[in-house]
Structure 1
Amino acid sequence: MNQTALHRMLALKDLKDLKKVSPQNLFDLRVTTNLPLIKELFYSLYKDPKHDLYFKELLELLPSLFQTRSDELKLHDLYLLKKGNWYQSENMVGMQLYVDLFNNNLKGIEEKIPYFKTLGINFLHLMPITTRPKGENDGGYAVNSYTAVDRRFGSKKDLLSLTSKLRAEGIYLMLDFVVNHTSDEYPWAKKALQGSAKYQGYYFMYPDRTIPDAFEASLPEVFPATSPGNFTYRKEIDHWVMTVFNSYQWDLNYKNPKVFLEMLSNLVAMINSGVDVVRFDALAFLWKNIGTNSQNLPEAHMLISLFRMCLQTIAPGVIFLAEAIVAPKEIIKYFGEGNREGNECDVAYNASLMALLWNSIATKKTLLLNKTLQNSLPKPQESTWINYVRCHDDIGLGLDDHYISELGWDPWLHRKFLLDYYCQGLDWSPAVGYQFMYNPSTGDGRITGSCASLLGLEKAIRIQHTAAIEHAIQKILMLHGIILSYGGIPLIYAGDEIGTLNDYSYLDDDHKKYDSRWVNRPSHSWQTVANLKEKETPSSIIFNGLKHMISIRKKNKVFADANNTILHDPRNPHLFMFERSGKNKEGVLVLANFDEHPQILGVDVLHSLGYVKDGTLSDILSSQKRKLNSGLMEVQPYELLWLAKP
């Protein structure tokens, strides 16, 4: 059973009046109800009898960590528990940003709370703000500490001030927990380099290549161009260290139960700053076994669930986001399976939808989009997606080769076409993007670029082509309109709401110039924001369009995620159509045209779904009635409709 729902049910009487509730009594209740699962998960991972000592340590650690949580946050946990599945609400709209690139530091973020509220944002993902190496640090994902705020962003006091203000304004906060690795400057790594056997056991470290070579036989390379291989030699100790991502990021060895206990303490210390959502970074890589690709292993799922069940006893209001950019059949598992269903992660990135939307833009067809989504497994009722157009990273082409082949396309050639389309390999393409980690031996590659530049705005402005500018704006609004109306939490990357173009300044930074992802991590232009009153600029059109759609989303309960997204066949390869159904026969039908030409939809489809009344349709985006004069309806280029059921 979903443990969160169980805790809510058991505490129903106590939660009626939070002023009278005893957080300690409810903690004891949560420990009692979670303990059987915690024990089962722990001993599934740590089978050696000598690990009994660590299980006893875990039982002592849970109440100790609960006491480190402030009274205010203990009550906030119960408030969120009482709210139910708040993360599935139609009111949820998020933004992802780098603190320094958005507005200098944490105080700067606090100053911009009115900006978030004006747009309708009530969920923030702040990219890593903890200390990191001064040089290359993977955008902060090479951590020197899980709690110390890097001075460039401010202080711990500034963070606590910000999270307090966010809670007061009803804005949820997500921070990353870099769970798979630390930097080579982390205290454990430093002690390992000094020869400490204890801390060398916290990582995968070997005196020769025997075991590393056995791992390498089946391990893929994450960054083949800049960080080939999965091990780095450290001459200080004459050992090879597992470094799956970069040479300065050391993979943690969770086969050592002490690592789990220490990381659980780090996790609680991090959320005690006022975090509502934990983004579990690179969680697919958590468990390593020789002879496998060491991704998505069953033990990784057990470990995540163990973290979840332990944290739930301490902070039941905090939820987990799975940062696993993997195939649809794998991502669904991070919500939990069997007795772990609903007890692993509450939210996951809908990376498949993201990749499919970009595929549809390039092909101008929705065949692969519809085929893949129609064949995707349903998620558990208590979970939800993060739907996004793009994020801080590259755009991977995580498309199913089987479905590509069924459409009569060659998978290798199709990916080559997508890379050429978005990365300036085709003269006629409007996109201005760049390849990331292209592997010539396999043809695999990823795409970087801002949303606006990939959708044609940069090139259109450069050549001063009015029609092309209009099409680019329409595409930007259409894609964001889809993520705002599809089941889940829409997450906008900061800058995309004002149509920010590629940022090439990273080429002047020696620590960034070899990583093309920085082209889509621009500084926020507050001058552009100041000029949004100019109604006809691309930035103002995009901003006001998004603001309008967000407002409509929040007024319609059908956009809450209750597994109520229904795909429909528009019988036109250029159209995408899905319905959000509600109680009492309520509904909104979302219709999008991915082609640059008008497309036709048979009106009989709309009649059969109940969206036609007296020969008219009601579009809640334009607040207009649309008269149907024949058996066919014309959908304009890149047009998006949200049709309300009469």
Structure 2
Amino acid sequence: MNQTSLHRMLASNKPDNPEKANLKELFDLRLSTNLSIIQNLFLSLYPEATLQNSFPLLLELLPELYKKRPENLKIQDLRRLKHANWYQSEKMVGMQLYVDHFNKNLKGLETKIGYFEKLGVNLLHIMPVTTRPKGENDGGYAVNSYTQVDKKYGSKADLLNLTKKLRSKNMHLMMDFVVNHTSDEFPWAKKAMAGDKKYQDYYYTYPDRKLPDEFESSLPEVFPQTSPGNFTFNTKMNRWVMTVFNDYQWDLNYTNPMVFMDMLTNLVELANLGVDVIRFDALAFLWKKLGTNSQNLPEAHSLVTLFRMCLQVVAPGVVLLAEAIVSPQEIIKYFGEGINKGNECEIAYNATLMALLWNSIATKKTHLLYKNLMNLPSKPIEGTWINYIRCHDDIGLSFDDRYIYEVGWDASSHRKFLLDYYCQKLDWSPAMGQVFMYNPKNGDGRITGSAASLLGLEKGLDQNDEELIKLAVNKILMLHAIILSYGGIPMIYAGDEIGTLNDYSYLKNKDLKEDNRWANRPKQDWKTVAGLDKIDTPQTQIFHSLKKLIRIRRNTPVFADINNLLLHPTPNAHIFMFERRNNSDEDVLVICNFDEKLHMIDTAGVASKGYVAGGKLKDLVLGESITLKSSLLEINPYQILWLSKS
């Protein structure tokens, strides 16, 4: 049994009215329940901790952190413990956005809650709003503070008002915890530069190149074009500092137990603002070890689990999302393995599904999609995915080379094809994307661009090609329908719900022009939104169709993620089919066509699963029955069917 289940069982024995519960007693129960795991994890990472007296400091810290958690959030924690895995519900639908790009600031965002309600979104992931350096700051991921709001977004009071309003609407908020690094303007970094040895040990700093060179021999480059290497010489400190991402982002030294405890304090303070889901940014990089690539190390997993076990004691209603855009076999580990299975992160990005969907769009084939998904280890019953098409970042082609070879393709050539297809190197491709961080040393590169531009809408509109526009709209809706019906939380990227195209204005900004990810970070087009109920455009078709799909999802209990997904490969390489099954009349069979041509499948397999009644199929998307005229079911280009038994 994992710790969440154990805490839920303990909570179920307490009064039904959380307001009457003895909150301190329940905290003590959670602490005693997790204590042996916390101690084992802590001492495995810090074997000298007993000598340094740091573990007793952690035991003193946890009650102090709990005292600071607001009373209303403590009560909310108990409600969530009693109501199972709330984050796995079919009613969960998310949207990721930049606050200033969406509607100016936090107050402006609050005024748009009605827009989210209209669409059916009840989980907002707002990109970083805390203080950051002026100029280059990696979109706010170079943090000067973990809880102080940057003035451009408003104030901490505005953030608290937003979280209060969201709670009143039964909506949820996700925010980032930049756990791997701080900016070089963070108070710890400033003290380190001023010569404070204590805070120099909060980072990886060295007086010469001996150890940095040893690290460099095995460390890959994250941004080889704009930030080559992994160390930066700081003239104020006269030392080399590890900067894996950018020279202004200093990697935290988690081999120092005081770093963990101070970061745990920052984590709880963030949760105390009313945040429901905390996104652990770049957690794959947390532990550095000479002779390794310092990614996905066992110690990093132990560290994340330690954060989770401590947070679960203090704020058990808050869940963690693993931002680990790594290989499929590595992603699954962030739910926890072995004795810690289910005790690491509750949620992880389904980057594998995302990349494979884009692969299937380019190839019009689904065999690589099946090959990867069917060989992915099962996740814990308590874990769930974030399923997404696009986000603020690039698209990495993070699927397993061996499966590419197994379907008869050369892995290197295939990745080059995908870059060419999406990044305007093939005249016949409808995609209008760009290559991000191409590395000539190994031929690796990633893809940027909005969903609509990558799927052909930008090119269709530029060429006034009605057929290309129609196909693009169908692709957009099909991909969204997949993430809405696949197991997990669907996360829509703001603007995709109205078919927003690439924004090239970043090229005019000296601080942004070298980072083409900003093409996919446009401002929300409220003029288009104002016309959604007035005129018929591709954008209005996308919005209203997506709104309908969300409504169906939220009214279909089988879409809750309880590990009830079954993949059903078909002989037709263009078709993707899977089922959400509760072994009842609520079951749904999902079928979609990744080709621009009509395809057919034999209905015998569909009938054997119980989806044919009286020669008819009931499609939830169409809202009507399909009469079968033969033993073959026709599926139009980029069509998706949600077939119901009842």
Task: Return the TM-score normalized by structure 2.
Answer: 0.99
State the Cα deviation string for residues 454-503 of structure 1 (Å, max 9, x = none): 00000000000011101000000000000000000000000000000000
Deviation of the 1:260 alpha carbon: 0.4
Find the counterpart in structure 1 of residue 267 from structure 2. 267
State the number of aligned residues.
Answer: 646
Aligned residue number for residue 71 of structure 1: 71
Checking the alignment, whether the CA contact within 8 Å between 2:328 and 2:399 is kept in structure 1 is: no
8 Å CA contact 2:556, 2:586 repeated in 1:
no
- For 1:588, the equivalent position in structure 2 comes to 588
Measure, in 2, the Cα distance between the counterparts of 1:633 and 1:585: 21
What is the 5 A alignment of 1:525-604?
525-604=525-604
Which residue type is aligned with residue 24 of structure 1?
A: K
- Superposition deviation, residue 49 in structure 1: 5.1
Question: Aligned partners of 1:472 and 1:453: how far apart in 2?
Answer: 9
* Separation of aligned partners in 2, 1:569 and 1:268: 45
Counterpart of 1:139 in structure 2 is: 139
**SS of structure 2 residue aligned to 1:75:** helix
Q: Are 2:43 and 2:49, in contact at CA under 8 Å, matched by a contact in 1?
A: no
Tell whether the 8 Å contact from 2:11 to 2:81 is kept in structure 1 after alignment: no
Distance 1:295 1:533 in 2: 48
In structure 1, what is the equivalent of residue 43 of structure 2?
43
Which residue type is aligned with residue 197 of structure 1?
A: K
Task: Measure how far apart 1:375 and its partner are.
Answer: 1.0
- Give the aligned residue type for 2:16: K
The code of the aligned residue for 1:190 comes to: K
The equivalences for 1:140-539 within 5 A come to 140-539=140-539
**Secondary structure of 1:532's aligned partner:** coil
Q: How far apart are the structure 2 equivalents of 1:624 and 1:12?
A: 42
Alignment-derived partner of residue 16 in structure 1 = 16
- 1:634 positional shift: 1.4
Q: CA deviation at 1:600?
A: 1.4
**How far 1:586 sits from its partner (Å)?**
3.1
- Distance in 1 separating the partners of 2:133 and 2:625: 57
Indicate if the aligned counterparts of 1:432 and 1:458 stay in contact, CA closer than 8 A: yes
TM-score if structure 1 supplies the norm length? 0.99
User: Once the 2 structures are TM-superposed, how far is the Cα of residue 541 of structure 1 from its aligned partner?
Assistant: 0.4
What's the offset of the Cα at 1:51? 4.7
CA pair 426-198 structure 1, distance change in 2 beyond 3 A: same
Structure 1 Cα separation of the partners of residues 45 and 388 of structure 2:
34
Residues 282-337 of structure 1: CA deviation (Å, up to 9, x unaligned): 00000000000000000000000100111111001000000000111111110011
Amino acid at match of 1:385: W
Question: Contact between 1:133 and 1:183, CA under 8 Å: does it hold in 2?
Answer: yes
Q: CA deviation at 1:31?
A: 0.6
One-letter amino acid of the counterpart of residue 559, structure 2: F
Classify the secondary structure of the residue corresponding to 1:11.
helix
Deviation of 1:15 (Å): 4.6
Q: What is the CA–CA distance in structure 1 between the aligned matches of 2:618 and 2:91, rounded to whole Å?
A: 22
- Give CA deviations for 1:184-234 in whole Å, capped at 9, x if unaligned: 000000111111110000000001111001111110000001000000011
Q: Is the 2:594–2:637 Cα contact (8 Å) retained in structure 1? A: yes
1:561 to partner: Cα distance: 0.3
Give structure 2 stretches of 5+ with no counterpart: none
Q: Is 47-56 or 415-424 further displaced after alignment?
A: 47-56
Amino acid at match of 1:44: S
Cα RMSD, aligned residues only: 0.9
Distance across 2 between alignment mates of 1:52 and 1:399: 43
Q: Which amino acid aligns with 2:115?
A: Y
Q: Tell me how far apart the structure 2 counterparts of residues 569 and 160 of structure 1 sit (CA, whole Å).
A: 48
Q: Is the 2:557–2:586 Cα contact (8 Å) retained in structure 1?
A: no
Between 47-56 and 179-188, the greater mean CA deviation after superposition:
47-56
Distance 1:237 1:639 in 2: 60
AA at the equivalent of 2:230: N
Amino acid at match of 1:340: N
What displacement does 1:617 show? 0.7
SS in 1 for 2:13: helix
Which runs of structure 2 are paired with 1:113-128 in the superposition (5 Å)? 113-128=113-128
Cα 1:555–1:51 change in 2 (3 A) is: farther
Following the alignment from structure 1 to structure 2, what is the Cα–Cα distance between the partners of residues 166 and 520?
26
Residues 335 and 379, structure 1, Cα contact 8 Å, conserved in 2: yes
Q: Distance in 2 between matches of 1:460 and 1:500?
A: 13
Q: Which range is displaced more, 194-203 or 577-586?
A: 577-586
- 1:558-587 superposed Cα distances (whole Å, 9 cap, x missing partner): 000010010001210000000000243531
Q: How far does the alpha carbon of each residue in 1:405-440 deviate from its partner, in whole angstroms, 9 at most, with x for none? A: 011111111011000100000001000000100012
Amino acid across the alignment from 2:397: L
Task: Tell me by how many angstroms 1:339 deviates.
Answer: 1.7
- CA deviation map 1:331-353 (0-9, x unaligned): 11100112211111000000000
2:110 matched to which residue of 1?
110
Q: Work out the CA distance in 2 between the residues paired with 1:637 and 1:50.
A: 64
Q: Is the 8 A contact 2:11 2:78 kept in 1?
A: no
- Distance (Å, rounded) in 2 between the aligned partners of 1:309 and 1:177: 16
Give the Cα–Cα distance (whole angstroms) in 2 for the partners of residues 272 and 88 of structure 1: 22
Partner of 1:26: 26
**For residues 81-121 of structure 1, what are the alpha-carbon distances to aligned partners after superposition, in whole Å with 9 as ceiling and x for unaligned?**
11110000000000000000000000011100100000000
CA contact (8 A) 1:179 1:281 kept: yes
52-61 or 116-125: which moved more?
52-61
Q: Separation in 2 of the partners of 1:32 and 1:114? A: 43
- Runs (4+) of structure 1 exceeding 2 A deviation are 49-52, 583-586
CA distance in 2, matches of 1:400, 1:455: 24
CA distance in 2, matches of 1:436, 1:523: 21
Counterpart residue type for residue 569 of structure 2:
D
In the superposition, relative to structure 1, how do residues 433 and 51 fare at CA in structure 2: closer, same or farther (>3 Å)?
Answer: farther
Distance 1:51 1:496, change over 3 A: farther
* Corresponding residue for residue 608 of structure 1: 608
Q: Which residue of 2 aligns with 1:619?
A: 619
Distance 1:572-1:535 versus aligned 2 partners, 3 A rule = farther
Query: How much has 1:237 moved relative to structure 2?
Result: 2.1
| Alpha-carbon contact 1:589-1:643 (below 8 Å) kept | yes
Q: What amino acid does structure 1 have at the position aligned with 2:364? A: K
Deviates more, 1:6-15 or 1:271-280: 6-15
Check whether the contact 2:288–2:294 (CA below 8 A) recurs between aligned residues: yes
Shift of 1:613: 1.1
Once residues 237 and 90 of structure 1 are traced to their aligned partners in structure 2, the CA distance between those partners, rounded to angstroms, is 52
Q: Which residue is equivalent to 1:96? A: 96
Instruction: Give me the identity figure in percent.
Output: 64
Q: Distance in 1 between matches of 2:109 and 2:277?
A: 18
Partner of 1:83: 83
Where structure 1 has 5 or more consecutive residues not aligned to the other structure, the ranges are none
Which whole-Å CA distance do the structure 2 matches of 1:431 and 1:197 have between them? 52
How far apart, in 1, do the equivalents of 2:164 and 2:625 lie? 44
Aligned-partner Cα distance in 1 for 2:109–2:15: 33
Whether contact under 8 Å (1:388, 1:492) holds in the other structure is: yes
CA distance in 2, matches of 1:404, 1:569: 17
In 1, are the aligned partners of 2:160 and 2:273 still within 8 Å (CA)? yes
Question: What's the secondary structure of 1:166's corresponding residue?
Answer: helix
Contact 1:329/1:377 (8 A) holds in 2? yes
Q: Is the 8 A contact 1:176 1:280 kept in 2?
A: yes
